[in-house]
Chains A and B, each alone.
Chain A
Amino acid sequence: MQINKTNDNDKLTIALEGRLDTLTAPQLDAEIQGKLDGVKSLVFDFKKLDYISSAGLRILLMAQKIMNKQGSMVVKNASSAIKEIFEVTGFCDILTIE
């Protein structure tokens, strides 16, 4: 999995490419954990993400909890298959999906 981070003042965009699963989730975790200080707006770009497993969902949930306190978080360009996962797991209710 590839992680591309783009910083624009207090806006952070994270574009993911490949699979976000048990094996790759720790990478994303490391990129986010303790590195969201001062970020007001967090954007996940899932345009090139193939799929997401529960391990990935866990990271999203964690990020969402942080951003609830200091700003906002948006998930963009998710495929229908990923959206279905969000739906099945009720994540569509907690995430802002565009």
Chain B
Amino acid sequence: MGFNFRGLAFKQSLMILAAITIVFGMIFGIMSYKTQEMLNRMTVENGEETSRANVNYIDKLFNAGKVVGEDLATKISEHSMSKEELDDFLLQSLFNARSLIPQVVAVVVAYEPGMGPENTEGEYMRLARFDHVDTKLVSGANYQDKEWYYSVRDGKTSRWQEPFIGEFVPEPIAVYTVPLFKKDKNGEDMLIGVLAVDMSIEFLKDEVGSIPVSNSGFALITTTKNVAVAYPKSLAEGKRNRDIIVREKRGQKQVEFDRKGRDSSGLFIGTVAGGEESAIYYTTIHSTNWTFMVVWPIQKYLEDQSLMRQLFLILSLGGYGIILVIILLISFRVAKPLKDLAIAARKLGRGNFDVAIPKITGHDEVAEFAWAFSNMLTELKDNIEKQKDMKRIERELDLARNIQLSMLPGEEREENSDDDRHELAPFLLPAKEVGGDFYDFFKIDNDHLCVVIGDVSGKGVAAALFMMVARIILRTMTKNLKSISEAFNKTNYALAKRNRLNMFVTVWAGIIDLRTGHIDFASAGHNPPVLRHKDGTAEFIPSKSSVVMAAMEDTIYKQQSYDLQPGDTLFLYTDGVTEATNSNNVLFGDNRLLEIIRKGGEQSPADTCALVKKEIDNFVQDVPQFDDITMLAVKFNGIDEPVWERYEKTIDVSDNGKSHALKTFVEDILTPMDGAKKMQMQDAWERYEKIVDVIPENQDILTAFVEGILAPMEGSMKSQMQINIAIDEIYSNIVKFSGATEVTLIVEIRKATLSARLTFIDNGKPYDPIKQADPDITLPAEEREVGGLGIFIVKKTMDSVCYRRNGDKNELAITKTL
């Protein structure tokens, strides 16, 4: 099983990982920011801590220097001194100042030209200086263009000058300069000179160099003009003050750091004297407006930060990995069984119901699903088995129904019961389930037609089988006994004798004498048929019903009778008609049936049945048919004209010896008519008909057809053989010469006289075989022809052969006594 990149596990893992990544990213970002902020704060705090004491100390010193300067200036302005007095004052002042601030190395006074003591002409400058050994007084000159002088003279305000190495003080000094004023005549302040206090800043270097700064850092002091004045010695090697420039990193560029426009203290990233990148804390020395800086090489500074980051990253990655593993485990725990189930489902889809459902333990959703799936499989299997069974049963029931229906006669032609004296039509519409309805009709003899309708109790195969048995027994019994009540008695006995399932059947049957319309009938618990008279009235035939058939062995059925008038229609039906139910549970009922038949009864039997069916459909609407609907309508036409039977015989009048044949022929025909009516009935000709297409092979069909009819008469083998030869000869002639497409063979037999009459009717061209000259049968073999020999044989072996052209048909009749 490869890893499925579109699988649930992968997608789920991916999504969770993405979410976790975002969360981690955010945490990392916030942490970084916070760390940075914290570090900055810590750095600033560190810087403040480092600088506070120093800045305070420096401030104190310079403030003191300032106070000294202001104080001296006030004194000089207030007292007009001589040169001597000024020198003393300067010496005294230096001494006083140094006792207070040892860093003061000189006190200077410089006057505007002509403004000096004792109104000296031109410049006057005096300087009291301490040269680390003792104190000296020096005069100076050419100071007018010195910055420390003109900046104060022009600005008229006190200020700290940028440190410089003095002319008289050969070391770096910070100079506090104060303007000296004197009231003029108008009482306004007039500048007369500048007082300066020089402070050595050498000490700053020592001070700054000795400040301990954590993380390889160092301290630095720059002036207002960003000139470094104090820094560790290590930084100074090989460099001059002006090289020690602090630059700030602005993006990719380095610009000279300028405190203007910034807070009085803060943090920035930059370099010192082109050294390595550093984090730099700065704060203002307020007294001089200088800047105190604490510098940490960034490497060191960032180390802390990156250490934090690394730690966090390692922790994150570790957590990430663990979460990933857990997710994958969970996903596979979920996906693996799902995948197994999917494989099982696919197999199941292909019809493999024996597929093993993966066993999944636990109580989670997947286990529940597997359990449901397995349940589904079992139920599906059962269902399909059931359906298969149902299908099989349904198929077999269909087959049973088809057999059942195909055994019922469809039309009168099939039964050879059609004649002009009556019309008959059956109708059977089976319900979905095989039912037990049946009808039957057949002729007992030429003049007696039996009609039957019945309904076996129950439904299904049992009812169908029972119905077939009942119908066959009743038919056989009726044909043999020729009495409807006798047939009922015998049939009932036969059915009741072995009726372990206690089934029963209702039957109504009657035998109609087609000559008179007289009907003998009996009823075994069946609805009486409807009788429609020619005048349009309809009624149920007066019929007394006895008990249903197959109920009791020794039931005696009463024969009843009725005389049908020409034009009367007898309508037989089962309860499927009268008990058809509509959606309101109303039955179709007797009255509705009577009414329909009254109205539409003058139609043909087939139309009457169709009409009743249509009315039932209208009545029930879309309620499904529950029971078989079975009907049989028979209309008695009566005898409008007598039915003539036609017999023909051709005799050779030239031969006197054969003239008796004509007499016999006529006698044979007329004799049965002299006998009793019953005799005539029994002796009547039975008529069979077969229609075949004209192809040679159908000769076998005709031969078999005739043999089937003649065999029960038990005539001689020879006669049978001769008839077969005759069929062969006549049919092969028709095949060869007539050009006919269809041959109808009518076989009529009369058992009483063992007579058979075969009539061949074909639609070929006119051809009278009898007119053919007989072949000369005396010639030697070499001169013989076979033509005409066939018909010759027929003529010789049959009792009679006659031909007539009837319309567009040839009719050839042969008779033979078996």
Contacts and interface: CB of A to CB of B under 8 A. Distances in A.
Contact of A89 (B699, B700, B782, B789): B789
Contact of B793 (A23, A65, A85, A94): A85
Interface string A68-94: 100000000000110011001111011
Nearest to B786: A58
Nearest to B788: A54
Interface stretch (B127-135, B305-313, B446-454, B722-730): B722-730
A94 B699 contact: no
Given A22-B732, A85-B793, A93 B725 contact: no
A19 interface: yes
Given A21-B728, A54-B793, A58-B789, 5 more contacts: A22-B696, A51-B725, A80-B718, A93-B777, A94-B780
Interface in B731-745: 731-732, 735
Contacts of A50: 721
Interface of A: 19, 21-23, 50-55, 57-58, 61, 64-65, 68, 80-81, 84-85, 88-91, 93-94
Contacts of A53: 725, 728-729, 732, 790, 793
Given A23-B697, A53-B725, A64 B781 contact: yes
A55 B732 contact: yes
B653 interface: no
A58 B716 CA distance: 27
B395 interface: no
A26 to B, nearest CB: 10
B784 interface: yes
Contacts of A84: 718, 797
A91 B780 CA distance: 9
A51 B723 CA distance: 11
Q: Is the interface of B mostly helix, strand, loop or mixed?
A: helix
A22 B793 CA distance: 14
Given A54-B789, A81-B718, A65 B782 contact: yes
Interface in B514-552: none
Given A51-B725, A53-B728, A89 B781 contact: no
B690 interface: no
B720 to A, nearest CB: 9
B700 to A, nearest CB: 7
B257 interface: no
Contacts of B790: 53-55
A22 to B, nearest CB: 4
Contacts of B718: 80-81, 84
Contact of A61 (B697, B725, B786): B786
Contact of B725 (A64, A68, A85, A90): A85
A94 B697 CA distance: 31
A89 B721 contact: no
A94 B784 contact: yes
9 contacts: A21-B724, A21-B725, A22-B731, A22-B735, A53-B729, A54-B792, A57-B789, A68-B781, A88-B796
B18 to A, nearest CB: 92
Contacts of A93: 777-778
Interface in B88-114: none
Contacts of A85: 725, 793, 797
A51 B722 CA distance: 8
A88 B700 CA distance: 25
A37 B782 CA distance: 19
A4 B726 CA distance: 26
Contact of B728 (A22, A80, A94): A22
Interface in B50-91: none
Contacts of B735: 22
B812 to A, nearest CB: 16
